[in-house]
């Protein structure tokens, strides 16, 4: 039998940072509430969570990178909502946030979780921020917990 490594939902070790955009704050505040709820349910105390607010999703990667470089956090959870408008601004903001967040994860070597909604309209975003499609902020934080536990297990094999 091969050895299988998988993260689980047990209370994770270490600190968590959440970087949340203020743009589309009605949506992002709901994602943030979901993320905090998930961390609490997984046994992460408030004293182990730092929340950093940034103007928009475009600003998330540089702040996530600064937090990652500080080597204080087990994971960083990025929350934002990019909603399509009349111009192609959406594509630029969504693309920069997506590739920037992915890059920070690889540069810093910790889980940097992509909890940025990219939606055609407000209704679709509402569905994903506590509506009928669940709360993607909650899911992002649950993913962070699983990944921290997985990284811990992989660390033990070194």
Question: Which residues are identified as catalytic?
Answer: 89
Q: How far is the CB of 118 from ligand INI (least distance, A)?
A: 9
Q: How far is the CB of 41 from ligand INI (least distance, A)?
A: 26
Burial grade of 105 (CB within 10 A; 0-12, 13-18, 19 or more): buried
Binding mask 10-49 for ligand INI (x = CB under 6 A): -----------x-xx-------------------------
Q: Residue from 11, 43, 55, 109 that binds ligand INI (CB under 6 A)?
A: 55
- 116 Cβ contact partners less than 8 Å away, ≥ 6 residues apart: 21, 57, 60, 78, 79, 80, 81, 82, 94, 97, 98, 101
Q: How far is the CB of 93 from ligand INI (least distance, A)?
A: 5
Q: Which residue has the tokens 């399509």?
A: 84
For ligand INI, which is the closer residue by CB, 17 or 147?
17
- The crossing angle, in degrees rounded to 10, of helices 89-108 and 60-69 is 10
For ligand INI, which is the closer residue by CB, 17 or 21?
21
Q: How far is the CB of 90 from ligand INI (least distance, A)?
A: 5
For ligand INI, which is the closer residue by CB, 76 or 83?
83
Cα 11–Cα 111–Cα 117 angle in degrees, nearest 5: 100
């Amino acid at each position: 039998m091969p050895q299988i490594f998988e993260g689980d939902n047990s209370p994770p070790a270490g600190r968590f940072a959440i970087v949340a955009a203020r743009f589309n704050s009605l949506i992002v505040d709901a994602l943030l509430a979901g993320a905090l709820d998930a961390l609490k349910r997984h046994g992460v105390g408030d004293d182990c969570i730092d929340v950093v607010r940034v103007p928009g999703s475009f600003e998330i990667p540089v702040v996530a990178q600064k937090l990652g470089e500080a080597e204080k956090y087990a994971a960083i959870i990025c929350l934002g909502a990019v909603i399509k408008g009349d111009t192609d601004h959406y594509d630029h903001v969504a693309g920069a946030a997506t590739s920037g967040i992915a890059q920070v994860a690889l540069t810093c070597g910790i889980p940097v979780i992509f909890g940025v909604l990219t939606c055609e309209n407000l209704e679709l975003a509402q569905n994903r921020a506590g509506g009928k499609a669940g709360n993607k902020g909650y899911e992002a934080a649950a993913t962070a917990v699983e990944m921290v536990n997985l990284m811990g297990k992989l660390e033990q094999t070194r």
